[in-house]
Chains A and B, each alone.
Chain A
């Protein structure tokens, strides 16, 4: 963090910059203004924040600086000079000299400079005497030159020697080369952070300078709720069906009787789907009532003896009418309800939960969402089913379709729908479809000649569909 500079200092800097063409170094500015260089660095940063007032380019330079000991010497003289000056003409006992702060170093240096001599045999102990009248303290002189910023006058050898004595050090200084900016001015205008109602009212915004935004930063997350991704896809599928003229079926009856769920779908009594393992059965409430008796009898007959052109399946029919918790095939119930009156062509869809008695793991859900579409009209063909599937999937952005013969107990023909996955570079199954078996339709009271085509797919498969 750089110390913030006051406006007075900033303006002084600007005035200096104004005087020079081609710019100036922040170190020179510091020297001119007689302040520490770090203060000027802070001032440069503050000026930069004002916009295009100045432009400053960082540079680095090396220079020589006195160490703490070096500064002491520049002030008080070198150790050897101090030792020399401390010795009176009649000499000084060596032990006394050694007690001086500069004694030890100064003694040996002064000795090697031959400024002093030691009389070891002097009576009363060894004594030190001057050998010359006066001395020249070149170390101090050199250091004072560096202190004045004139280190260039010294030879490299001299500087390195002083560095070895830890009196000088070479330091790298980061400074700025300051030039005038595109909106250079010697007066400081405070930058506003944001536009305020007062500025708008008074018009003062016209005179203000605004602090620039940092466009690299992320915005603040909006304070809002979200729809569930799977439910968003459901909405999209509903929309597609509605656009295609399909009416939504009432599927909000999770509890169905086995009759509607299995028997009316022409599922053999021993069909795997009737297994205890796959279906949730209800224990409370236990029994259903109020079946349309005549319809029930017709269905029973088709299962066991055939009829409506069918060989039947020779089922030994043992109805228990247990409730089963499922949604998969409530469309029969709806279809039947809508066909009891005079038949009119219909298009139905539903998107709702279906249930499967599974243990949960990463790839198995006991509940998922099934999407179903049904068209009932006179003379519908397999080609019609493919055509409407093509339209449906085109609305999802899936255009490459092909169909594989398949088996469902309640539709014939049955087709699995495959689409070409551009990412996986292969055909993947996207749904199942078929034409309802007449054995299923005729007991409902549908007129001959009416075909019902239908398809189903799983909503969960489309959860990463881009909305």
Chain B
């Protein structure tokens, strides 16, 4: 969930009203935002770098507001204020308009060459004319681009935004791709020119930019945008050129978004221009730009598309569980920036989805907005009349019954991780990894999660190792799932419910573990005996001490082993006392 940081006083000024922290928190909650933290730059610095660094930092109060991940229109102060003002019916949602250049001039043009196809094939562009920046607006403009980069742009992999002072460059612009050695320009905040190859090594140590290098690093051609005089605007998705950088005094802005995902590029561009066209001489108008594809196709951006959906008041009422007139529902939706009116036919409502609401893709999204405007907490809570009979999952029912009785038999339940290291299930148990039938994880963050466990024993032995200070004997059990490869399953693996128990004491206590087996079998109503009953017979298993291991058979089928653990197993789990264990599959008893 993205967090937007805004200056409290600036926010209240824009909202035209002062709130207490509690009142504003309440407003956020109702609207689906969360006032996450109230802080200041100074406080943040003190927390992150200590008191000395914070000296002289601003103590202007900041609100950190959590915004839902699909609401790109709320990622800056301008959008938040607009959304809340419309919600509180203090403002009508503005209409965003794409306009042609004044005085019949030619629109700016961005020509895409075919070299971009292999690395970053899409681009869109627009112009904001006669904009007036202040320090705060300028900061917010930069911050919005950063928020979009982190969210919808998926850390610049899908889309990268470049903004330029149009008065320093001249179109038409060319979006092409070139070998890194052939791109040469002075990037933002640097004092001299670099080749693209040099920049990639320069930014290796840059705390911010190094995260984006991987996107093009290994490509033979890097994306680059030139103006008609060969001036580099940007090398997306890494850095802009210094020449065209915007400043507080910039009046006209050329915005380009290059992308691997065209839909998201269009949304991103719409967001930037809808948010900041507010500060243009003619508010909420955006000057069009043309994009020419390698095949000659020409598109005009920004799209700023409005779409109309028709749905019935009854649909909303039935899905939300309220009983409102179509007119009142239309009013609710209008408060969510979805300008709506009753069409006159029955209770049908025409809902206009503005370009800022890319998150609205289905009638259910409109229904949710009606519910939010109505107030989730004003909806009457009612119990569904769905009549059903409950059933337990048989394997869980059996597990629940056995757990209680194992605890009653003096063993304590452990809860251990289902993921572990290869070593835990192989070397430490004196097994070969290939014979374990283990499912392997390709991308574990740590060696503790290389495989799904094939036995509960390692987890229990680790639990004992962590509790060596407790008085002896230690008696533990766990009934849980292991995962085994199984060719017959569609995913090639299956869970298997196992029961494992260990007895750790100065003497091995085989008879204790054996007694536990007898008790478990008694509970499962299986009597001792060779055919329809259960029996154990001497077996060899590398985990157990030779001559101290038996295989357990129930109704003629092998269900597991019990015995005294091999001394090497004991010491590999950093234990010092003899230990006996039982490990059985309980699924045959379902």
A195 at interface, CB cutoff 8 A: no
Residue B178, interface by CB 8 Å? no
Interface residues of A in 427-450 (CB under 8 A from B): 435, 437-439
Q: Which of A252, A323, A355 contacts B395 (CB 8 A)?
A: A252
Check A257 for interface membership: any CB of B closer than 8 A: yes
Shortest C-beta distance, B397 to chain A (Å), equals 8
Taking a contact as CB atoms under 8 Å apart, the answer to whether B415 and A228 are in contact is yes
Residues in B neighbouring A65, C-beta threshold 8 A? none
How many angstroms from the CA of A382 to the CA of B367 in the assembled complex?
10
User: CB-CB < 8 A to A255: which residues of B?
Assistant: 439, 452, 483, 491-494
- Chain A residues whose CB sits within 8 angstroms of the CB of B485 once the complex forms: 284-285
Q: How far is the CB of A191 from chain B (nearest CB, A)?
A: 33
- The CA-CA distance from A285 to B69 in the complex, in Å, is 34
Contact flag A225-B68 (CB < 8 Å), given A280-B443, A406-B32: no
B419 within 8 A of A: yes
A254 part of interface (Cβ distance < 8 Å): yes
A233 to B2, CA, bound (A): 33
Task: List residues of chain B with CB within 8 A of the CB of A345.
Answer: 386-388
Q: Is the CB of A357 within 8 A of B444?
A: yes
> Is A108's beta carbon under 8 Å from chain B?
no
Which A residue's beta carbon lies closest to that of B417?
A367
A267 to chain B, nearest CB (A): 12
B44 to chain A, nearest CB (A): 20
Q: Which of A14-22, A198-206, A397-405 contacts B (4 or more CB under 8 A)?
A: A397-405
Complex: chain B residue closest to A353, CB-CB? B418
Q: Which of A223, A238, A383, A390 has the most CB of B within 10 A?
A: A383
Give min CB distance, B425 to chain A, whole Å.
14
Give the contacts of B485-531 with A (CB-CB under 8 A). 485, 490-495, 497
Please measure, in the bound complex, the distance between the C-alpha atom of A181 and the C-alpha atom of B29, giving whole angstroms: 74
Residues B384 and A375 in contact, CB atoms below 8 Å apart: yes
Docked-complex contact B318 and A254, CB < 8 angstroms: no
Q: Is there an interface contact between B419 and A367, defined as CB atoms closer than 8 Å? A: yes
B419 with A316: CB separation less than 8 A:
no
Considering the complex, which residues of chain B in the window 64-102 have a beta carbon less than 8 Å from any beta carbon of chain A?
68-71
Contact B407 A226 (CB under 8 A): yes
A387 to B385, CA, bound (A): 11
In the assembled complex, how far is the CB of residue B438 from the closest CB belonging to chain A, in whole angstroms? Answer: 8
The answer to whether A227 touches B404 (Cβ under 8 A) is yes
Contacting residue for A252 out of B68, B382, B387, B481, CB 8 A: B481
Quick one: given A252-B395, A288-B490, are A387 and B383 in contact (CB under 8 Å)? yes
- CB distance B407 to A287 under 8 Å? no
Name the residue among A235, A249, A346, A412 with the largest chain B CB count within 10 angstroms: A412
Other-chain contact of A404, B32, B365, B477 (Cβ < 8 Å): B32
Q: How far is the CB of B208 from chain A (nearest CB, A)?
A: 19
Q: Mark B155-179, 1 if CB is under 8 A from A, else 0.
A: 0011000000000000000000000
With the chains together, A256 CA to B417 CA distance in Å?
18
Q: Complex: how many Å from CA A138 to CA B537?
A: 100
A247-B389, A252-B481, A282-B440 known, 20 other contacts, Cβ within 8 Å: A225-B407, A228-B412, A246-B388, A248-B393, A252-B393, A254-B418, A255-B452, A255-B491, A270-B158, A282-B493, A308-B362, A345-B386, A360-B448, A366-B449, A377-B384, A389-B381, A391-B383, A402-B29, A407-B359, A413-B376
CB-defined A-B contacts under 8 Å, sample of 29: A225-B477, A226-B413, A231-B413, A242-B392, A248-B390, A250-B393, A254-B483, A270-B154, A272-B154, A280-B443, A283-B440, A285-B439, A345-B388, A347-B388, A353-B418, A366-B449, A379-B318, A380-B386, A381-B318, A384-B384, A388-B384, A389-B381, A402-B29, A403-B377, A404-B32, A405-B376, A407-B71, A412-B368, A413-B367
A residues touching B (Cβ–Cβ < 8 Å)? 223-228, 230-231, 235, 238, 241-250, 252-257, 270, 272, 276, 280-285, 287-291, 306, 308-314, 316, 323, 325, 345-347, 353, 355, 357-360, 366-367, 375, 377, 379-384, 386-391, 402-407, 409, 412-415, 435, 437-439, 451, 453
